[in-house]
Amino acid sequence: MAAVLRVSRFLPGRFCKHVAFAVMSSRSMASKTPVGFIGLGNMGNPMAKNLLKHGYPIIATDVFPESCKEVQELGAQIVDNPADVAEKADRIITMLPSSPNVIEVYTGANGILKKVKKGSLLIDSSTIDPTVSKEMAAAAEKMGAVLMDAPVSGGVGAASSGKLTFMVGGAEEEFTAAKELLSCMGTNVIYCGQVGTGQAVKICNNMLLAIGMIGTSETMNLGIRLGLDPKLLTKILNMSSGRCWSSEVYNPVPGVMEGVPSANNYQGGFGSLLMVKDLGLAQNTATNTKTPVPLGSMAHQIYRMMCARGYANKDFSSVFQFLREEDGQQQQ
């Protein structure tokens, strides 16, 4: 390490950081078996980095090669497709946008199950339809592998800091092995039941999240129209019975809170299009179980309208801006 510090004067800062990272990780990597990681987007990228920090050699791939650059610089081995990952690692984590992506990555022409090793542990942290999780688990079982669903909560910030919450579904006897890996990326790893139950919890959580964010945005907009300072209103809400995650941790009003998407023109975070996907999953499961979810249905429609009007790639908290526009007011 001293050698790294001496050399660092003559190296660009970013390169020096990668050298130091590699030195600190090399000893522990030598004693740990490789972990495959597929899907290096906004969430997958920091998750894979945290595994590297904990000393796990990473074998990764992504449909967009440029997404692999950062983890490759930190020591990950990049391969061409999911099947190649399965050939080199018997513990694989997937973090993908939707059910069709998961189906392709696991069962496609170059999918994981084409070259999966018997006894492999497959952990899918995507948010998808619980029935798809069950189908993929059944397909994996035929190949002698075990699949668990482990969707996450916490967003990009928690992914970067290693403080995600994982909701895990699958064979209980495999939970300890899954928790070993997931604990490198999250502070809460909770067993929910058999395959698909992790997805069920995540769908319920995100439906409530969407409803809460819309409610917070409506409340803040009303307060502003009544002449209240948004920072003062937020402070009082967070001392009162209206307090919620959307008001306290992820406030949707620009200028109220630093380090959240509303402070950065709603860039980064959790895209509105992804929220539409998750709310659609909630609607499908509500229909299948004959469960009344009128507020969930309304939230789904609001986010669909937002995406149709140019908000698809903005963080879901931009519903505040959308409501201001609907109100005929200038964007904030």
Please report the pLDDT score of residue 326 as a whole number.
79
The span from the CA of 150 to the CA of 218, in Å, is: 32
**Banded model confidence at residue 194, pLDDT cuts 50, 70, 90:** very high
| Percentage of the residues of the chain whose pLDDT score is greater than 90 | 85
Tell me the mean pLDDT in the region 292-302. 98
Domains of the chain, each with CATH number or no CATH: 32-195 (3.40.50.720), 201-326 (1.10.1040.10)
Average pLDDT, the chain: 91
In one letter, which amino acid is 103?
Answer: I
Please report the pLDDT score of residue 268 as a whole number.
83
- Secondary structure (DSSP) of 3-63: HHHHHHTTS-HHHHHHHHHHHHHHHHHHTS--EEEE--STTHHHHHHHHHHTT--EEEE-S
Does residue 217 carry a pLDDT above 50? yes
Tens-digit pLDDT profile for residues 99-153: 999 999 999 999 999 999 999 999 999 999 999 999 999 999 999 999 999 999 9
Tens-digit pLDDT profile for residues 154-185: 888 899 999 999 999 999 999 999 999 999 99
Q: Which H or E run includes 137?
A: helix 130-142
**Banded model confidence at residue 25, pLDDT cuts 50, 70, 90:** very low
Please report the pLDDT score of residue 154 as a whole number.
87
The span from the CA of 14 to the CA of 72, in Å, is: 14
C-beta separation of 267 from 314 below 8 A: yes
Selecting among 49, 202, 277, 314, the annotated active-site residue is 202
- Secondary structure (DSSP) of 206-218: HHHHHHHHHHHHH
**Banded model confidence at residue 31, pLDDT cuts 50, 70, 90:** low
Please report the pLDDT score of residue 155 as a whole number.
84
Please report the pLDDT score of residue 16 as a whole number.
47
Give every CB contact of residue 125 below 8 A, 6+ residues apart in sequence. 43, 47, 93, 94, 95, 150, 151, 152, 166
Please report the pLDDT score of residue 19 as a whole number.
44
DSSP conformational letter for 309: I
C-beta separation of 61 from 4 below 8 A: no
Please report the pLDDT score of residue 269 as a whole number.
85
Tens-digit pLDDT profile for residues 47-93: 999 999 999 999 999 999 999 999 999 999 999 999 999 999 999 99
Please report the pLDDT score of residue 32 as a whole number.
86
Q: Please say if 115 is a catalytic residue.
A: no
Tell me the mean pLDDT in the region 297-310. 97
